[in-house]
């Protein structure tokens, strides 16, 4: 057992939002906790605020009165840094500035023992860079908690270049002993969650910027078809457009302006105009008094087709055939080497989003990826100006007959859910190949850190690894900026699974 002993004092420096949350976690776990903040009186205020939160836990019967009293007695505000001398762990949650953090750790090193574990809660600075200021950098780690720290289980335990594995393990085991779910990751821009989650926002904004659909429709499709807890527009209104954009910009800049992380112009306009989301009353949506949330575009009722012909294997959408039959629509299945699609009585075709556009084909309607076609409440369709009205009507009627709402969006290659999921899968594979974290830890981090319904690797296995590769390859052909270029790691995985399936050419 390498976790810190519960009798060891833990210090939290910087007692704002995160510092208070982290202090509460360490305190409730059983440690004596010291609080320090440069603003006089703030550590005392933080101790009072933590005490009040403990009172609420007692009211909700999640903590006994005796445990609350004991915890309060263990919580000590410090007037000066030297009062932290006997601490075995110091977690820093101060201003997000490299010079401020480095100065603090330099000062701390002159006070605590050489064996004291030093941790930063930075979200966007390099752990290696902060640790560069230290005399003994091996005991320095990132302990990246999520807000609110007492509620959210995930902690990214970040090892900088100089971090000694003994200390990283101590930090990991201590987070686990505190009831958290730690994941180990290397020091990389955005760590795991803030790196791999970027396309969730970026692709939604890109569909909007390309006039594919409005925010309410994109959000509804992400939720009701993609299985995400919230859509990208409503979520960033909650987070704050400034906060979300600054994470994107920081990751993009740290990767030397890698085009895969390019920020959104539309979001920049929001930030510039002060439309920061709920906190300013206006973001993508109006949050003012009495403001009504716009409804997603939803197609009018159409007749279902009399039958469908299924050609080839629908891959990740194969479940649809059973649903169509259950809805009483006859399905004739035909083996087809050259593709997988549903042929409608109009002669037009319905195909799963694959990174191509409708306009490239004679009469095709694309449908978006769903997490689970049986459970999905809404399906997005995309058609071009060349799609026949009858084919579109039959496609709408088909999904309506399965009990789904239908949103018809513009002719956007990869649609909404499909391109988002493919890019998340790609960044996850790329991260593993670059030694950022294991597949298992990435899946855990994305499920716990941002509430994804599946981890990227679970999703990838479900969809087939070559699915994401093929979709991105097609998108890359249509947008050769490099934004959609599949990573070498995804190429390797796709190729390996092709070989296993005997389809390599």
Query: Residue 18 or 396: which CB sits closer to ligand NAD?
Result: 18
Give me the least distance between CB of 19 and ligand NAD, in Å please: 6
Q: Is 236 in the site for ligand NAD (CB under 6 A)?
A: no
- 183 scored as a contact of ligand NAD (CB under 6 A): no
Is 58 in a helix, a strand, or coil? helix
Sign of CA dihedral 349, 341, 376, 380: negative
Is residue 128 at the binding interface for ligand NAD, with CB under 6 A as the rule? no
Q: Classify residue 164 as left (phi > 0), alpha (psi -120 to 50) or beta.
A: beta
**How many angstroms separate the CA atoms of 131 and 137, rounded?**
5
Q: Does 42 bind ligand NAD (CB under 6 A)?
A: yes
279 lies in the binding site for ligand NAD (CB under 6 A) = no
Pair type for strands 89-92 and 33-36: unpaired
Minimum CB–partner distance for residue 83 and ligand NAD (Å) = 13
Whether 168 and 142 have beta carbons less than 8 Å apart is answered as no
Tokens linked to 121: 């809660």
Question: In terms of CB distance, is 18 or 445 closer to ligand NAD?
Answer: 18
Exactly one of 18, 33, 50, 175 binds ligand NAD (CB under 6 A); that residue is 18
Residue closer to ligand NAD, measured from CB, 96 or 479: 96
Out of 25, 26, 37, 370, point to the residue binding ligand NAD (CB under 6 A): 37
Residue 72 contacts residue 46 (beta carbons within 8 Å): no
Q: Which stretch binds ligand NAD (CB under 6 A): 87-95, 193-201, 321-329, 476-484?
A: 87-95
Q: Which one of residues 4, 50, 93, 412 is an interface residue with ligand NAD (CB under 6 A)?
A: 93
CB of residue 92 vs ligand NAD: minimum separation in angstroms?
8
Closest CA to 258 of 123, 426, 101, 411: 426
- 39 touching ligand NAD, by CB under 6 A: yes
Q: Is 161 helix (H, G, I), strand (E, B) or coil?
A: coil
Is-catalytic flag, 147? no
Residue of 9, 11, 14, 112 that binds ligand NAD (CB under 6 A): 14
Using CA atoms of 441, 444, 449, 452 in order, give the dihedral in degrees to the nearest 10. 130
User: Rounded CA gap, 261 and 431, in Å?
Assistant: 14
Q: Closest-CB residue for ligand NAD?
A: 16
Query: Can you tell me the distance from the alpha carbon of 499 to that of 131, in angstroms, rounded to the nearest whole number?
Result: 44
- 291 is a contact residue toward ligand NAD (CB under 6 A): no
Indicate the residue among 14 and 263 with the shorter CB distance to ligand NAD. Answer: 14
- CB-wise, 154 or 395, nearer to ligand NAD? 154
Nearest to 217 by CA among 379, 55, 359: 379
Rounded distance between C-alpha atoms, residue 45 and residue 77, angstroms: 9
98 near ligand NAD, judged by CB under 6 A: no
- Cα separation, 417 vs 212, in Å, equals 13
Is 70 among the residues that bind ligand NAD (CB under 6 A)? no
Task: Report DSSP state, residue 120.
Answer: E
> E strands within 102-198?
117-120, 140-145, 154-159, 181-186
Is 13 a binder of ligand NAD (CB under 6 A)? yes
Q: Does residue 107 interact with ligand NAD by CB under 6 A? A: no
H or E segment and range at residue 239: helix 232-239
Taking CB under 6 A as the criterion, the residue among 69, 70, 106, 147 binding ligand NAD is 147
| Active-site annotation holds for 194 | yes
Alpha-carbon radius of gyration of the chain:
26
Q: How far is the CB of 447 from ligand NAD (least distance, A)?
A: 18
Catalytic site residue from 92, 109, 156, 311: 156
477 binds ligand NAD (CB under 6 A): no
Packed helices 65-74 and 17-29: angle between N→C axes, nearest 10 degrees: 120
Which C-beta is closer to ligand NAD: that of 142 or that of 348? 142
Structure tokens at 335: 């083996």
Binds ligand NAD by CB under 6 A, chosen from 121, 194, 250, 356: 121
Q: Is 83 in the site for ligand NAD (CB under 6 A)?
A: no
Q: How far is CA 238 from the centre of its chain?
A: 14
- 244's CB contacts (< 8 A; 6+ apart) are 201, 236, 267
Options 11-19, 376-384, 445-453, 474-482: segment touching ligand NAD (CB under 6 A): 11-19
Residue given tokens 């009353």 in the structure block: 281
Q: From the CB of 236, what's the least distance to ligand NAD, in Å?
A: 14
Is residue 126 a contact point for ligand NAD (CB under 6 A)? no
Q: Which residues of 225-244 are buried (b: 16+ CB within 10 A; e: fewer)?
A: bbbbebbbbbbbbebbbbeb
Minimum Å distance from CB 37 to ligand NAD?
A: 4
439 binds ligand NAD (CB under 6 A): no
Tokens 């399965």 -> residue: 402
Q: 328 - beta bridge partners? A: none
Q: What is the smallest separation between the CB atom of 285 and ligand NAD, expressed in angstroms?
A: 21
Tell which one of 3, 8, 16, 384 touches ligand NAD (CB under 6 A).
16
Q: Which residues of this protein are in contact with ligand NAD, per CB under 6 A?
A: 13-19, 37-39, 42, 93-96, 100, 104, 121-123, 145, 147
Residues designated catalytic: 123, 144, 156, 194
């Amino acid at each position: 057992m390498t976790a810190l002993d519960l009798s060891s004092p833990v210090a939290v420096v910087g007692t704002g939002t995160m510092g208070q949350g982290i202090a509460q976690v360490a305190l409730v776990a059983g440690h004596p906790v010291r609080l320090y903040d440069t603003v006089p009186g703030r550590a005392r205020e933080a101790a009072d605020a933590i005490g009040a939160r403990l009172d609420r836990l007692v009211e909700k019967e999640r903590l006994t009165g005796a445990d609350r009293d004991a915890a309060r007695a263990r919580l000590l505000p410090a007037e000066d840094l030297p009062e932290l001398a006997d601490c075995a762990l110091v977690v820093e949650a101060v201003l997000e500035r490299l010079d401020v953090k480095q100065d603090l750790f330099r000062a701390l090193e002159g006070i605590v023992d050489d064996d004291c574990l030093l941790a930063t809660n930075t979200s966007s600075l390099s752990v290696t860079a902060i640790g560069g200021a230290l005399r003994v950098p091996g005991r320095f780690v990132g302990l990246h908690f999520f807000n609110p720290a007492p509620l959210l289980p995930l902690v990214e335990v970040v090892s900088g270049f100089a971090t000694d594995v003994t200390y990283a393990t101590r930090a990991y085991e201590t987070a686990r002993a505190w009831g958290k779910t730690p994941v180990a990751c290397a020091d990389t821009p955005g760590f795991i969650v803030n790196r791999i989650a970027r396309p969730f926002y970026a692709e939604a904004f890109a569909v909007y910027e390309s006039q594919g659909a409005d925010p309410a429709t994109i959000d509804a499709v992400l939720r009701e078809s993609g299985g995400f807890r919230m859509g990208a527009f409503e979520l960033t209104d909650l987070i704050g457009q400034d906060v979300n954009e600054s994470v994107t910009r920081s990751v993009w800049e740290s990767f030397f302006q890698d085009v895969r992380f390019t920020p959104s112009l539309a979001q920049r306009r929001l930030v510039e105009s002060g439309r920061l989301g709920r906190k300013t009353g206006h973001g993508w949506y109006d949050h003012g008094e009495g403001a009504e949330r716009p409804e997603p575009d939803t197609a009018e009722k159409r007749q279902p087709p009399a039958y469908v012909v299924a050609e080839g294997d629908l891959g990740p959408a194969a479940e649809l055939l059973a649903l169509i039959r259950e809805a009483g629509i006859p399905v004739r299945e035909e083996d087809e080497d050259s593709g997988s699609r549903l042929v409608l009585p109009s002669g037009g075709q319905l195909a799963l989003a694959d990174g191509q556009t409708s306009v490239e084909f004679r009469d095709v309607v694309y449908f978006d990826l769903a997490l689970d076609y049986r459970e999905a409440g809404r399906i997005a369709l995309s058609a071009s100006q060349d799609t026949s009205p009858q084919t579109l009507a039959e496609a709408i009627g088909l999904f309506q007959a399965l009990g789904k709402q239908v949103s018809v969006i513009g002719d956007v290659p990869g649609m909404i859910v499909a391109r988002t999921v493919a890019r998340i899968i790609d960044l996850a594979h790329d991260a593993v190949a670059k030694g950022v974290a294991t597949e298992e830890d990435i899946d855990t981090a994305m499920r716990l850190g941002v509430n994804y319904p599946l981890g990227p690797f679970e999703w990838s296995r479900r969809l087939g690894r070559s699915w994401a590769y093929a979709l991105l390859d097609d998108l890359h052909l249509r947008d050769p900026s490099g934004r959609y270029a599949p990573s070498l790691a995804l190429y390797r995985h796709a190729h390996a699974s092709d070989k296993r399936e005997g389809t390599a050419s």
